[in-house]
Amino acid sequence: MNSTQGAMPAGAGLRRVAIASCVGTTIEFYDFFIYGTAAALVFPKVFFPALGSTAGTVASFATFAVAFIARPLGAVVFGHFGDRIGRKRTLISTLLLMGVATVLIGLLPGAATIGVAAPILLVVLRFAQGLAVGGEWAGATLLTAEYAPPKQRGRYAMFPQLGAPLALMLSSATFLITGLALGNTDQSFLDYGWRIPFLLSIVLVVAGLYVRLKIEETPVFRAAQQQPTADTPLREAFTRAPREILLAAGSLTALFALFYTGTTYLTSYGTSPTGAALSRTLVLSLGIVAGAAMALGVIASALYSDRFGRRRLIMASYTAAAVWSLLLFPLLDTRSPVAFALGLIVTLGLMGLAYGPVGAFLPETFPTRYRYTGAGTSYNLAGILGGAIPPLVAAPLAAAFGSVAIGIMLCGLSLLSLICTAALAETKDRDLRQAQRSLPALR
């Protein structure tokens, strides 16, 4: 390795960084995902009982969507500090914010106890979750990408990407075990059982803080500190790389659409009497299997991206997703448990194949001075279009035009992401520090 790359940790040091990034994103996404599961299974009855079943579900998913509005703000705020003071300290802040907000949701009284204050406080805490996860993902991926050997960035950047499927498996398992421990009695689950996964978050946060405090700042960022840092990373990012930010956001939109339709909406659909009418136990069990399929997709595509390139694998995944989206809902409409299982597993498996290379692709797209801000802003802008809107409009779309309309929407978003990815450059051979040194002067 030449001197321009700086000192990279070897062996145990690099493994520690990989584990820290994986543990951190797992905890952040666990906290984020248990809200989605609860929004599908519990919140309509606990926080919106006066609205009725359908309107309560829409209102519940609206509070779910609030976090996606907060995520770009979190990316800007935490990206600013991540680019100014470092990745490590910023990531500790995001973990603490997420942990506090999640535990407070678990302690929040329902509408039957405190009336309209309950859903208002729920929205505030959900907004705080969005701020935290908005700053988390970019920092965690930068942590591994900036530490990793240049020819193995895809391999090491997959570790923060594994946080999402591991968190899905963990959140589904926690709700499943809680339900089984309560004998699957709906009233006990509604009264207090749903709170247990939220309160358990404190244990994970303490473990995550311990791991993150053990790692050092990245060598790429330390080297960048020898040069003048960006006074306003957001201004610099949008002045120097507006095309990359917007195209990267478009490129990632289908990821969010596939994931949150495959989890939040399908969890509601699977347990609804007007949907698949499956038991909560079966749907949560299938969530664990689908999370494993997503993890395998992440691992395979991340590893192969070091050989074949990030862009090519992401585009291939979106092409498959566009076709699958048109097949998904006719399959689900058979209301067969096997069809539901296949639909959920394939949807999240395809999402994992597209998601794996992104952990290296986005950090490689932006220079060090505003890498945290650029990558985080792109990722979380995609979250609004792909993560907030599809689960929110899926039920009204299905009611008005039939479930095939949801598939057409997913197909359209997959094609949008395919086109945006094609317009971006391949990044696998980029030197992260060379990108820093070659920046043009900002005028």
35 within 8 A of 105, measured Cβ to Cβ: yes
- 403 versus 350: which is more confidently predicted? 350
Q: How confident is the model at residue 9 (pLDDT cuts 50, 70, 90)?
A: low
pLDDT exceeds 50 at position 374:
yes
Residue pair 229/368 in contact (Cβ under 8 Å)? The answer is: no
Tokens of 422: 């094609």
For residue 443, the model assigns a pLDDT of 38
Query: 10 Å Cβ neighbour count for 329?
Result: 20
């973990």: which residue's tokens?
Answer: 95
User: 123: alpha, beta or left, given left = phi > 0 and alpha = psi -120 to 50?
Assistant: alpha
pTM for the model stands at 0.83
Q: What is the pLDDT of residues 216-248, one digit of tens each?
A: 777 777 776 666 666 688 888 899 999 999 999
CATH of 12-432, picked from 1.20.1250.20, 3.20.20.10, 3.90.1580.10, 1.10.275.10, is 1.20.1250.20
pLDDT digits (tens, 9 = 90+) for 312-353: 999 999 999 999 999 998 998 888 899 999 999 999 999 999
pLDDT over threshold 50, residue 60: yes
Give yes or no for a contact between 305 and 313, defined as CB atoms under 8 angstroms apart.
yes
* Structure confidence at residue 11 (pLDDT): 58
pLDDT digits (tens, 9 = 90+) for 136-190: 888 888 888 888 888 899 999 999 999 999 999 998 898 888 878 876 556 777 7
Q: In the prediction, which pLDDT does 415 show?
A: 97
- C-alpha distance from residue 43 to each of 34, 87, 261, 356, 420 (Å): 11, 35, 18, 32, 36
* Chain segment 87-123, per-residue pLDDT in tens: 888 888 988 998 899 999 999 998 888 988 988 999 9
Domain ranges of the chain: 12-432
